[in-house]
Amino acid sequence: MNKRIALFPGTFDPFTIGHQSLVSRGLALVDEIIISIGINDKKQTYFTLEKRMEAIRCLYKDEPRVKVMSYNSLTVDFAEEVGAEFIMRGIRTVNDFEYEKSIADVNRKLSGIETFILFTEPEHTHISSSIVRELLRYGKDISPFVPKGTNLY
C-alpha cells in the first residue's frame, strides 16, 4: 500500500503554534506530511529560508512522519515531484476559505491533486505569521505564539 503523503505549503515566516496544530491534526489523516517552504523572491521575509527550515526541523526532529523541504516552483509541480497526493491547508476566516478554494480548484484542474482543509482551532484563529513578525519588529515576546523548541526566541 502506498503512503498517503500531504504537502503543507507556506512561507512559515515564522512557523506558529497554529501551524503546529494543523500538522498534528493532519498526521491523523495521512502517513506523512511534507512541510514545504515556498521560495518567493517577491516576498520580503523576516527569517532566512535556512533559519525557518532549521526551526521546523528542530521542532519535528523526533517525528519521522514529518519532513521539511523547500521548493521554487508551482506547488502542484512540487507535490508531483515528491509523490504527494494531497495538499493540506488551514483556514482561519471566511476570506481564507475563498482564497484557498480558488487555488484548490486550479490545482485540481492542473494536476488532479486534492486539497483538504483543516479549520484552525478557535484558540489559534488570532495567530498569524504576519502578526508575529509585527511583534518581533517592535521587540515584543513571541513565545506564546511559536512552538517551544523552534529556537526563534
The dihedral formed by the CA atoms of 59, 36, 112 and 110, expressed in degrees to the nearest 10? 160
DSSP code of residue 116: E
Alpha carbons 125 and 89: distance in angstroms, whole number: 14
State the CB neighbour count (10 A cutoff) for residue 35: 27
100 is in an annotated binding site: yes
- 91 assigned to a ligand binding site: yes
Which residue in 25, 51, 67, 92 is the catalytic one?
92
Point out which residues pair with 71 in neighbouring strands.
38
The answer to whether 120 is a known ligand-binding residue is no
**Is 36 labeled as catalytic in the residue annotation?**
no
- Is 129 catalytic? The answer is yes
Which three cell numbers mark 152?
526563534
State yes or no: 75 annotated in a binding site: yes
Q: Which of 19, 21, 36, 52 is catalytic?
A: 19
Known catalytic membership, residue 43:
yes
What are residue 35's DSSP bridge partners?
8, 68
Check the annotation: does 150 bind a ligand: no
**Of 21, 36, 52, 129, which is the active-site residue?**
129
Q: Answer yes or no: is 90 a known binding residue.
A: yes
Of 3, 24, 148, 133, nearest to 88 by C-alpha is 24
Other beta carbons within 10 angstroms of residue 146's beta carbon come to 24
102 is catalytic: no
Q: Is 10 annotated as a binding residue?
A: no
Q: Is 125 annotated as a binding residue?
A: yes
The verdict on whether residue 48 carries a ligand-binding annotation is no
Binding residues: 11-12, 19, 43, 75, 89-92, 100, 124-130
Binding residues for ATP: 11-12, 19, 90-92, 100, 124-130
Catalytic residues: 19, 43, 92, 129
Binding residues for substrate: 11, 43, 75, 89
